[in-house]
Structure 1
Amino acid sequence: MNRLLYSLLPLLPLVSLAQSGPSPQRPALTIESIMQDPKISVGTTPSAPFWSDDSRTIYFNWNPDRAKNDSLYKITLSGTRTLSPSKPQKVSPAERLALRTDPSPIYNRARTQRVFESQGDLFWIDTKTGRIRQLTNTVDAETEPRFSGDEKRVTFRRSGSNLFSIDLTTGELVQLTDFRPGAKKSEPKQNDEEAFLKAEQLRLSTVVTERKERKDEAERLSKRNRPKRPKEIYLDDKQLVGQQLSPDGQYVTYRAIKSASGAKIAQVPNYVTESGFTEDIPTRVKVGAPQSTQEFFVYDVAKDTVRTLSVKSLIGITDRPAYLADYPKAKADTAKKPRPVTYSNVVWSEDGKVAVVVIRSGDNKDRWITRLDPATLTLTVLDRQHDDAWIGGPGIGGSFSPGSMGFLADNHTLWFQSEADGYSHLYTVDALNPGTKKQLTSGKFEVQEVRLSNDKRSFFLQTNEVHPGEQHWYRMAVTGGNRTRLTTMPGANDALLSPDETHMVIRYSSATKPWEFYLSPVASTASPIRLTDSQTETFKSYSWREPTYVTIQARDNQPIYARLYKPSQPTGKAVVFVHGAGYLQNAHKWWSQYFREYMFHNLLVDKGYTVLDIDYRGSAGYGHDWRTGIYRHMGGKDLTDHVDAVQWLAKTQGVDAGKVGIYGGSYGGFITLMAMFTTPDAFKAGAALRPVTDWAAYNHPYTANILNEPQNDSLAYRRSSPINFAEGLKGNLLICHGMVDVNVHFQDAVRLSQRLIELKKENWELAPYPVEDHGFIEPTSWMDEYKRILKLFEERL
């Protein structure tokens, strides 16, 4: 899903501070120090770890030297029962070039062989001896190598389109598909006159007739003696995606996408350019524009035929969405046409006998997990999840992804995730016996990641069952039951298992400590060993505040999780921060993606402000009802959650209700506008950063899920778009927006500015940033923006 992002930067714990100040434990912070280049003052944390085949070396990206780019580092493990890690060592360029370890390894079933791609060529490796064999050496790019079902061949894509295979014994290269762009050229069809003249000439001339017969016979012999080749499949004006060979080699499944015609692409003007001229940046269509369509095909290799999959038999495929009940005059589709759908890649059992395809309705209100019989093109529904709002949640997947899913050792029991009971949990179903769905986990928590063990007897799960703001890993039998907790450190634990599943690298952080790597055995309660130390001495010199985790009761009695920062000498002033992205979690116990904002909150608390950061309705981590609480009304419950939080501050934290400010970026900027326009008495000042001002101008994948399409659900858009409520502005408003923002276009801020001008509002200002996209890059832009925000709160609160 293409979500609103507050920042396009990686989730790196980069912060900064000033060394000067009145207290040796907590030096004074300045905007310049906290908004400078993060790696200068804090350092860069390690990322992208992967293991060697023998589970004895950990590779990862790191930049402790603060170079322009990250470098590859490694840690080697020695010992037998208890592994002892070495200090991190930088991998030399020559070693890195020769490195044959793949971040996403493709093993055979016994894990004794592995195939990988390097610089467009394919390689095979014996994981026990390290022996390497190069399989291809061509100008064309070979990618996505896979073992065939019998593991005697390696299949792959060449130049992104056609499938090939290489026999690992003989080296024979076989082309499996022949996809061709465009339309097949055919002989012009004869009209009646031409057909008559040809027949007459053959009747009247023996020579012409004999020559034609000899030519026809030669063509028949040529076809009979021609080597067998795959069927020519012409794509016409469609795009080829998802081509897959079944494990038994009998079928090729693929999808063809036809782009919508008439969808206008929005342009973003770029004023500060190398050429000195204004240049347009093509970006995206707006919500409600015509969408591309998909078709699913099965190519039968033996029969050399291609057939199209039909979804007409799916239960509910013709259902109309519930929101149309608000539009009684809307024309009903009497023909009951099937809704457009998207298809996932095929999930095959290892023996190639069971194929599963996940199908989603184009309006994203239905998800069907189906068993596909490629011989008959029959679909059997194994699970249907319907949502009047939209399908989503951890592990559920998207348009092309089936989500978290796979087969157990018996090759017919499918495991998958679903929000059927209100939280994303783990389920199984016998694909050969529909109606056998079984729930393996349950409770008011989310299963956020699932990995099946090598022996297929256990699941490794990441959940937030300890607390919504903590993430831990567990081991559980594939039949369900008790879970064994594998991580202990409070905060976030992202684990990567070694190939032999005896150890795990844990990417860990807490609320005040950026991400670092730790090593821990899987079957032990021993304390994890810290592997990296990324923070600079400057960062360590400041005593960063641990937020207080509080729960606030909303007006509908739902619990709002929040992070509270309390000053030692309160002034009665308060600032509420609104995280971006909508579906994102920030009131958690790990290092925030909003590290600059976290730094800024420490600065505000130093000045006597109380700061509150809540996970409002629509945030991630709290299940289906919280996720969809904004359906058809953004700026509804997500805003009243903030208003309720302010009232809680006034009642319990000594905050002056007349001295509260609000700020946030992207979705947070949108909420800030709705707060200042529709609840003007709750907030005296607000800073809306790169805000959406009219949802009808945003993109389709994100917005249509929540508000449907504007031409079909105008009520949802009108009550959700701040530009419709600008007359309500009372307090002081600051708007900051990058002028080359290709996500939320600068046009949003310009249109709102014109609206405020026409309403004769004077208590607002717009700060444009000519070289910035949605997520700012330049430290000077960050500094300017946050100086303005601080000035707004200092002067107006």
Structure 2
Amino acid sequence: MKLQFIGAALSFSLAACSNTQLNEHLNTSAPEKIQGAVATNAQATDIITLEQIMADPDWFGRAPESWYWGDDSSSIYYQQKQLGNPLRDLYAVNLLNNNEASPVNLSSKHTVSYQNGVLNKTRTHKVYTFNGDVFVKTLVSNTIKQLTFTSNAERNALFLNNGEIAYQVGNVFYAHNLQTGQIKELASLKMSAKPARTISPKSYLAVEQHKLINYIALQQRNNALKQTQKERLAIENTAVNDSKFYFGKDNRVAHASLSPSGDKLLVSITSAKSSRDKTDIMPNYITKDGVIAAEKVRARVANNRQYQEQLFLLDLVTGKQQALSYDSLPGFDDDVLASVKSENFARKGKTYKSEKKTRNIHVLQMNNPIKWSSDGQHLALMLEAWDNKTRWLTTVDFTKNELVTQHKLHDDAWINWSFNEFGWLNASNKASLYYLSEESGYSHLYYKGLNSKAVKLTSGKFEVSSVTPMLDSQRFIFKANKKHPGIYEIYQVDLAKKLTALTNLGGKNNYTLSPDESKLLIEHSTVTMPPELYVQSLKAGDAAQRITHTVSEQFLAMPWSAPSVIAIASSKQKEPIYSKVYFPKNFDKTSEKNRAVMFTHGAGYLQNSHLGWSGYFREFMFHSMLVQQGYVVIDMDYRASAGYGREWRTAIYRHMGKPEVEDMRDGVNWLIENANVDAKRVGTYGGSYGGFLTLMSMFTDPDLFASGSAIRLVSDWAYYNHGYTSNILNTPEDDAIAYERSSPIYFAEGLNKPLLINAPMVDDNVFFEDTVRLVQRLIELEKQDFETAIYPVEPHGFVQPSSWLNEYRRIYKLFENTL
């Protein structure tokens, strides 16, 4: 298997290049163009040790978190973890005063915690909530008024178009008049049946009582008269307000969104019944009171009930409550699982009969899935079918009280949980929508007038995300991996499709636009450099200026190994498998062939062969340690990894573990042919989905690796959660075939090489039960060459340094003994 070169970016070794060479090869800015980016290294430490790299990560730096612009566009704020404890401090940076950073006192934190605030129509005031209270800021004078001071948790504060401020407390919405101080209840959402004027008798005794006793009939009549008078009073007397809306017993509010006009409210109602089964518990053995705690945890996909929501449009002026039907959505009743069910029925000797049936539909679970236009005249929302196959971007026709589909996206596999951003543009009083869609095979940006066809603004083999529409409604800023799948820069595009690269930093970059739209605040990182904050003007040719220096000198002095990012040709499909490969010195000149380790990253929707700082920073440091000792290390973005488009993402539909293991074999073959690696001295390890793939590779392709370590592993997908698993494998009820061929526990008889299982016991993501059942299966199969290490106090992502150290000592020992 020979190396496939994809452009200049792939034809070199990062380990062998200087920073300047690296930037030139990747067509990025040279370091000297990034002001203040180069730090002076202290005396280099020669030896990388497990004790150092698995210590509390505070030792190498505490990167800026939750960063945002100040309202003046000349200051920024970020949080930073305190040294040695989990508390965070808020820092302010003054860009007009030599980028000086200073901590924000707790006593004044409420004056600057407005990152999620909402501006009024004229952009002169901002409303926001802090610690459950509402604050109003006058921008020109920088003065702040606290509007509420209560023990309630006010939230979702916004300016109404009449100048009043609205906010929500529980399921009650209020409007606050800033001039008069009057507070008006706009709507109170009641999870009960509307009180009846008369209560009909139900039991035999009650019926007879109403017949025989006149006093009962009199009381019933009097109560009905009082109720009628109360209703008339609310209608005829403007000093009385009855804003209650009733949605039935045993329900809950899933979503509620108030119009900026204050006259309408969209509400989504679902059952209050939990999807959990009483058996969905997790034993916790190490507790403060010394007894075992049976903690309630998420539902297993095998137990989870089908989920649906009912939409209601509330007219807050007339009090009318109107249900919105899904029947207008194209494909609302399609049997999208017909072929899947037919295959599963046939296995049982049965025939499946497909029928049209209303699908369970709900508001898509994402940030801000319901959005009003700024004038309150239009409403858009993103809906999804429970079967994960269809997404609808809809608006509401207020005259007909109907949903109007603006865009339908169907995927025979599943709709991605990323790339669902959308919003309104309001230029020249013509309301238009923008949205992201994977319909072309990659996430791209589209623009659409309500009564016109969509216009595709970006195109190519790259993914667009993090879209920010500019105030002129003619331009958008976004993040994309256009120049290379592992490099994320910031771009601008206009409605004429003119695309402009705003940054040229290389690595990974996230951003937020300043309030005056003149600058970007950028979180920038590289493979060997944790995230720091930079500021860059939108003026052409301006360089990014580094404004934080949180990485320690000790970290900068360490001899980390920068991996090569290589496109490995696939034996199964046309696209290459992008991979990080760590080469030791003189790897091609050793007297005997090299030993190697393959690390497999987790999933959810994740990319690790990128050129930015990785969340797997301990693994990166561990790989550097292995390289020092002569190991070759490979880290592959197997099929289903993020960053490579829809086809790559959905390659595992209904058969997790097969395409990925095929890619892993291609990676091993590449190492044998290109990195002087001994085929019999390759080990593997990974956590979560990486633990699952360690098992699948060792069970289904037992000659591929000499040994492996599976961390916080999935052994049976029927025990994992619904939200992730049903996307890829449907549900066990509909598609048992997919679960059985995708779950390692069904292939455990294939194990014939040393396996180390590392399992946290209070993992509420992948339950410890997965390990327990697999171990029992291995025992019953009379397998002996496996070991299990348990970690009693650790969740899915280990926390304690002692646990990290113990775990990696075991992994290192496994490789030293077997490779």
In the TM superposition, residue 111 of structure 1 has moved relative to its aligned partner by: 1.7
In the TM superposition, residue 236 of structure 1 has moved relative to its aligned partner by: 1.4
In the TM superposition, residue 269 of structure 1 has moved relative to its aligned partner by: 1.0
Quote the residue 2:25 is aligned against. none
In the TM superposition, residue 257 of structure 1 has moved relative to its aligned partner by: 1.5
Secondary structure of the structure 1 residue equivalent to 2:555 = helix
Secondary structure of the structure 2 residue equivalent to 1:88 = strand
Give 1:157's match in structure 2, choosing from 157, 168, 178. Answer: 168
Correspondence 1:604-643 to 2 at 5 A: 604-643=626-665
Quote the residue 1:251 is aligned against. 264
Give 1:749's match in structure 2, choosing from 762, 771, 778. Answer: 771
Quote the residue 1:781 is aligned against. 803
Give 1:52's match in structure 2, choosing from 35, 45, 70. Answer: 70
**Deviation per CA, 1:375-396, whole angstroms, max 9, x where unpaired?**
4221222111111100016321
Matched, 1:287 2:298: no
Change (3 A) 1:499 1:765: same
In the TM superposition, residue 303 of structure 1 has moved relative to its aligned partner by: 2.7
Change (3 A) 1:194 1:220: farther
**Deviation per CA, 1:94-149, whole angstroms, max 9, x where unpaired?**
3335x24412221123321111112222121210111223322333222111111x
In the TM superposition, residue 93 of structure 1 has moved relative to its aligned partner by: 3.0
Further displaced range: 730-739 or 347-356: 347-356
In the TM superposition, residue 312 of structure 1 has moved relative to its aligned partner by: 2.0
Q: Which amino acid in 1 is paired with 2:175? A: S
**Deviation per CA, 1:325-383, whole angstroms, max 9, x where unpaired?**
42354665666220101125432222222222222110110011122113422122211
In the TM superposition, residue 234 of structure 1 has moved relative to its aligned partner by: 4.5
In 1, are the aligned partners of 2:78 and 2:91 still within 8 Å (CA)?
Answer: yes
Quote the residue 1:114 is aligned against. 126
**Deviation per CA, 1:202-240, whole angstroms, max 9, x where unpaired?**
9xxxx9999999989977875655724223425411111
Further displaced range: 592-601 or 222-231: 222-231
Quote the residue 2:363 is aligned against. 343
Matched, 1:72 2:90: yes
Matched, 1:422 2:445: no
Quote the residue 2:534 is aligned against. 518
Q: Which amino acid in 1 is paired with 2:291? A: F
In the TM superposition, residue 452 of structure 1 has moved relative to its aligned partner by: 0.7
In 1, are the aligned partners of 2:132 and 2:153 still within 8 Å (CA)?
Answer: yes
Change (3 A) 1:47 1:208: closer
Change (3 A) 1:347 1:209: closer
Secondary structure of the structure 1 residue equivalent to 2:167 = strand
Change (3 A) 1:551 1:221: closer
In 2, are the aligned partners of 1:561 and 1:614 still within 8 Å (CA)?
Answer: yes
**Deviation per CA, 1:169-194, whole angstroms, max 9, x where unpaired?**
32221101122244445443147756
In the TM superposition, residue 411 of structure 1 has moved relative to its aligned partner by: 4.1
Q: Which amino acid in 1 is paired with 2:408? A: R
Secondary structure of the structure 2 residue equivalent to 1:96 = helix
Change (3 A) 1:245 1:759: same
Correspondence 1:117-516 to 2 at 5 A: 117-148=129-160, 150-158=161-169, 160-186=170-196, 187-190=198-201, 224-225=236-237, 227-260=240-273, 263-265=276-278, 266-289=280-303, 290-320=305-335, 321=337, 322-329=339-346, 332=352, 336-344=356-364, 345-392=369-416, 394-396=418-420, 403-409=421-427, 410-431=429-450, 433-434=451-452, 436-477=453-494, 479-516=495-532
2: CA distance between counterparts of 1:220 and 1:709? Answer: 48
Quote the residue 1:668 is aligned against. 690
> What is the TM-score of this pair, normalised by structure 1?
0.90
1: CA distance between counterparts of 2:227 and 2:54? Answer: 79
In the TM superposition, residue 85 of structure 1 has moved relative to its aligned partner by: 3.2
In 1, are the aligned partners of 2:77 and 2:91 still within 8 Å (CA)?
Answer: yes
Secondary structure of the structure 2 residue equivalent to 1:680 = coil
Secondary structure of the structure 2 residue equivalent to 1:465 = strand
2: CA distance between counterparts of 1:211 and 1:374? Answer: 39
Change (3 A) 1:260 1:712: farther
Give structure 2 stretches of 5+ with no counterpart.
1-41, 588-592
Quote the residue 2:11 is aligned against. none
In the TM superposition, residue 56 of structure 1 has moved relative to its aligned partner by: 1.9
Secondary structure of the structure 2 residue equivalent to 1:146 = strand
In the TM superposition, residue 275 of structure 1 has moved relative to its aligned partner by: 1.4
**Deviation per CA, 1:510-557, whole angstroms, max 9, x where unpaired?**
001111111211214222221111122221221222211100111123
Q: Which amino acid in 1 is paired with 2:294? A: D
Correspondence 1:704-743 to 2 at 5 A: 704-743=726-765
Give 1:588's match in structure 2, choosing from 599, 605, 610. Answer: 610
2: CA distance between counterparts of 1:261 and 1:33? Answer: 45
1: CA distance between counterparts of 2:714 and 2:221? Answer: 76
Further displaced range: 786-795 or 223-232: 223-232
1: CA distance between counterparts of 2:439 and 2:539? Answer: 32
Change (3 A) 1:216 1:173: closer
Quote the residue 1:36 is aligned against. 55
1: CA distance between counterparts of 2:144 and 2:92? Answer: 21
Q: Which amino acid in 2 is paired with 1:27? A: D
In 2, are the aligned partners of 1:152 and 1:169 still within 8 Å (CA)?
Answer: no
In 1, are the aligned partners of 2:307 and 2:362 still within 8 Å (CA)?
Answer: no
In 2, are the aligned partners of 1:418 and 1:427 still within 8 Å (CA)?
Answer: yes
1: CA distance between counterparts of 2:269 and 2:682? Answer: 53
> What is the TM-score of this pair, normalised by structure 2?
0.87
Further displaced range: 742-751 or 165-174: 165-174
Change (3 A) 1:790 1:167: same
In the TM superposition, residue 88 of structure 1 has moved relative to its aligned partner by: 1.8
2: CA distance between counterparts of 1:213 and 1:126? Answer: 50
1: CA distance between counterparts of 2:243 and 2:727? Answer: 41
In the TM superposition, residue 49 of structure 1 has moved relative to its aligned partner by: 1.3
- Percent of aligned positions that are identical: 38
Quote the residue 1:92 is aligned against. 105
In the TM superposition, residue 91 of structure 1 has moved relative to its aligned partner by: 2.2
2: CA distance between counterparts of 1:147 and 1:193? Answer: 56
Show structure 1 runs of 4+ deviating over 3 A: 23-26, 63-68, 181-187, 190-202, 207-226, 259-263, 327-335
2: CA distance between counterparts of 1:307 and 1:358? Answer: 19
In 2, are the aligned partners of 1:43 and 1:63 still within 8 Å (CA)?
Answer: no
**Deviation per CA, 1:158-179, whole angstroms, max 9, x where unpaired?**
2x21111112332221101122
Secondary structure of the structure 2 residue equivalent to 1:48 = strand
Secondary structure of the structure 1 residue equivalent to 2:535 = strand
Secondary structure of the structure 2 residue equivalent to 1:103 = coil
Give 1:769's match in structure 2, choosing from 767, 774, 791. Answer: 791
Change (3 A) 1:126 1:656: same
Give 2:667's match in structure 1, choosing from 608, 628, 645. Answer: 645
Change (3 A) 1:221 1:283: closer
Q: Which amino acid in 1 is paired with 2:281? A: Q
Secondary structure of the structure 1 residue equivalent to 2:726 = helix
1: CA distance between counterparts of 2:704 and 2:215? Answer: 92
Quote the residue 2:24 is aligned against. none
Secondary structure of the structure 2 residue equivalent to 1:239 = strand
2: CA distance between counterparts of 1:90 and 1:484? Answer: 36
